[in-house]
């Protein structure tokens, strides 16, 4: 019912959404987040990005995040797809899609999964800018976003 994919190939947003909805007429809401590579970061132009990950642990971490979302909300399917390897501006990096009977649960669970993914799944971004290559630093905003979910909702 829930799936997690780590892949170097581009993913097909429409196919993933269609497969999630499948033929389940009980689904009333699908909320989808797509994170895309931008050509600017911290004021510098970024020409390419390389995404490294920790094979094995990534899947485990994402599985734990997805199971936690399933426990917290009444959901009818979650899809997480994350690319690794070389990426170019405009490329989708990650997609989280959540199906539910009603929209409130789908919105909350989708945002929860991406907030947790950003702070708990072992991925690292390296950017190529005109000044050379650099590792992206963790954003304070991401851990603040994650911590929201620990307080009573």
Partner 1 sequence: MIEVLFFARLREQLGTAKERLQAGSEATDVGAVIKLLQRRGGVWEEAFGDGQTVIMAVNQEVASASTPVKDGDEVAFFPPVTGG
Q: Which of 35, 59, 122, 134 is in the footprint of its own copies by CB under 8 A? A: 35
Q: Convert 56-125 into a string of H (helix), E (strand) and C (coil).
A: CHHHHHHHHHHHHHHHHCCEEEEEEEEECEEECCCCEEEEEEEEECCHHHHHHHHHHHHHHHHHHCCEEE
Part in contact with its own copies (CB under 8 A); list of ranges 11-19, 50-58, 78-86, 130-138? 11-19
The most distant pair of C-alpha atoms in the chain lies apart, rounded to whole Å, by: 52
Query: Given candidates 6, 29, 84, 136, which one binds its own copies under the rule CB under 8 A?
Result: 29
Pairing between β-strand 75-83 and β-strand 2-7 as defined by DSSP bridges: parallel
Find the part of the chain contacting its own copies (CB under 8 A) among 2-10, 19-27, 119-127, 128-136: 19-27
79 is a site residue for partner 1 (CB under 8 A): no
Q: Which of 62, 86, 96 is nearest to 8 (CA)?
A: 86
Find the binding residues for partner 1 in span 30-59 (CB under 8 A): 35, 51-54, 56-57
User: What pairing do the DSSP bridges indicate for beta strands 44-45 and 92-100?
Assistant: unpaired
Site for partner 1 in 80-109 (CB under 8 A): 82, 93-94
Task: Measure the CA–CA gap between 42 and 112, rounded to whole angstroms.
Answer: 25
List residues binding its own copies (CB under 8 A): 13-14, 17, 21, 23, 25-40, 89-90, 101-104, 106-107, 110-111, 114, 141, 145
List residues binding partner 1 (CB under 8 A): 35, 51-54, 56-57, 60-61, 82, 93-94, 114, 117-126, 135-139
């Amino acid at each position: 019912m829930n799936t997690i994919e780590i892949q170097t190939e581009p993913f097909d947003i429409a196919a993933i959404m269609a497969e999630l909805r499948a033929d389940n007429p009980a689904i009333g809401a699908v909320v989808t987040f797509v994170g895309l590579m931008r050509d600017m970061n911290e004021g510098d132009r970024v020409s390419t990005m390389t995404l490294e990950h920790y094979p094995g642990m990534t899947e485990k971490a994402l599985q734990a995040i997805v199971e936690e979302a399933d426990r917290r909300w009444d959901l009818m399917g979650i899809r997480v797809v994350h690319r690794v390897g070389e990426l170019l501006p405009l490329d989708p990096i990650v997609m989280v899609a959540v199906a539910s009977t009603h929209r409130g649960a789908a919105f909350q669970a989708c945002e929860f999964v991406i907030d947790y993914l950003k702070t708990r799944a072992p991925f690292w971004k390296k950017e190529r800018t005109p000044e050379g290559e650099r590792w992206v630093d963790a954003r304070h905003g991401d851990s603040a976003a994650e911590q929201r979910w620990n307080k009573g909702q």
